[in-house]
Amino acid sequence: MSQNDPNKATGAIRFDKAGITYPNGVVGMKDLDLEITPGEFVVIVGSSGAGKSTLLRAVNGLNALTSGSVEIDGERVATHSNRELRRMRKRIGMIFQDFRLVKRLSVMSNVLIGRLAHVPGWRAMLNFWPAADREIAIDALKRVGIADKAWVKASQLSGGQQQRVGIARALAQQPAIILADEPVASLDPVTTHQIMRDLVRINRELGITTLVNLHFLDLAREYGDRIIGLRFGELVYDGSAKTVTDEDFRNIYGRDFTEDDLLEEEV
């Protein structure tokens, strides 16, 4: 039970000949072999439809594999047991492009959603959260610097602040892994850098394995440790962000890249 051993680093992900063919016949992932070690910060790039989201969503079982396997800390991600799936998802945080907050509820209530799977069902249902879980939620908010907004309605926050709530919700899960699907795609450049720095800092401070989908190449280069390139659902690049070349990017995208692929407008 590596998951319950506090001394052992958790958050290892391993894809083994993994494939996903959608019901409509589209191949979202093809023969993927990939190993990610605990605490890594991995950026996934690829053009639209390359299978970035498919890969992330395979880790927490939102997309079920149709072949091969994906394991977390040696344990296979369940495909049919809901209970098993919930137990694994409990420790996997996810951050979305569109934040996905309950807009009419307070920031605090939104962050507590990260504790849903950690407390008895009746407590969540009656909004009767244990003090310890509230404490965890507050800590998560502090870590992204918006503890002062705890009682503000989520809809009243700016985009950057909403994404921080999204990160805090993931942190409240006390996750071994964080999956971020284009977390900065709906933010302005300044906020984009702040959020990326937050994600890197959290990865360093807490050692949470972090997978981030990005479509800006300069961001991938700046913030990634390791870059994974996908094309038509296949792994076409896997290497250090420090040594990735423009030629590599051309290969991943299957074309010359343009200003649209960069956050800062210079090629």
Partner 1 sequence: MNVPARPPRNWMLLAGVTGLLVAMTVWSAYGIGFSLTEILCNIAGGTRLITESWPPDFGFLPRLAEPMLETVFIAVIGTVVGGILAIPVAVLAARNITPNKLTWFADRNFMNILRTLPDLFWAMLFATAVGFGPVAGALALTVFTVAVISKLWSESLESIDMGLPETIRAVGGTWFQMIQFGAIPQAVQHYVSYALYAFELNIRASVVLGLVGAGGIGMILETQRANFEYERVTMIILAVLVAVLIIEEISESIRKRLA
Ligand X SMILES: Nc1ncnc2c1ncn2[C@@H]1O[C@H](COP(=O)(O)OP(=O)(O)OP(=O)(O)O)[C@@H](O)[C@H]1O
Summarize as ranges the residues that interact with ligand X (CB under 6 A). Answer: 22, 24, 26, 28, 46, 48-54, 215
Residue 20 · residue 29 · CB < 8 Å = yes
Q: Which is nearer to Mg ion, 36 or 55 (CB)?
A: 55
Q: Which one of Mg ion, ligand X, partner 1, none interacts with residue 192, CB within 5 to 8 A by kind?
A: none
Q: Which one of Mg ion, partner 1, ligand X, none interacts with residue 54, CB within 5 to 8 A by kind?
A: ligand X
Residue 129 touching partner 1 (CB under 8 A): no
Residue 22 touching partner 1 (CB under 8 A): no
The distance of closest approach from Cβ of residue 188 to partner 1 in the complex, given in angstroms and rounded to an integer, is 21
**Residue 235, class by beta-carbon neighbours within 10 Å (0-12 exposed, 13-18 middle, 19+ buried)?**
buried
Residue 88 touching partner 1 (CB under 8 A): yes
Determine the longest span between alpha carbons in the chain, in angstroms. Answer: 56
Give the Cβ contact number of residue 122 at 10 Å: 8
Residue 54 touching Mg ion (CB under 5 A): no
Site mask for partner 1 (CB under 8 A), range 103-122, x = bound: xxx-------xx-xx---x-
Q: Which one of Mg ion, ligand X, partner 1, none interacts with residue 143, CB within 5 to 8 A by kind?
A: none
Site mask for Mg ion (CB under 5 A), range 127-166, x = bound: ----------------------------------------
Helix H, strand E, coil C: the string for the chain is CHHHCCCCCCCCEEEEEEEEECCCCCEEEEEEEEEECCCCEEEEECCCCCCHHHHHHHHCCCCCCCEEEEEECCEECCCCCHHHHHHHHCCEEEEECCCCCCCCCEHHHHHHHHHHHHCCHHHHHCCCCCHHHHHHHHHHHHHCCCHHHCCCEHHHCCHHHHHHHHHHHHHHCCCCEEEEECCCCCCCHHHHHHHHHHHHHHHHHHCCEEEEECCCHHHHHHHCCEEEEEECCEEEEEEECCCCCHHHHHHHHCCCCCHHHCCCCCC
Residue 134 touching partner 1 (CB under 8 A): no
Residue 89 touching partner 1 (CB under 8 A): yes
Q: Which is nearer to Mg ion, 115 or 215 (CB)?
A: 215
Residue 53 touching Mg ion (CB under 5 A): yes
Q: Which is nearer to Mg ion, 53 or 194 (CB)?
A: 53
Residue 86 touching partner 1 (CB under 8 A): yes
Residues binding partner 1 (CB under 8 A)? 60, 62, 85-90, 92-94, 96, 98, 100-105, 113-114, 116-117, 121, 124-125, 169, 173
Residues at the contact surface with Mg ion, assessed by CB under 5 A: 53
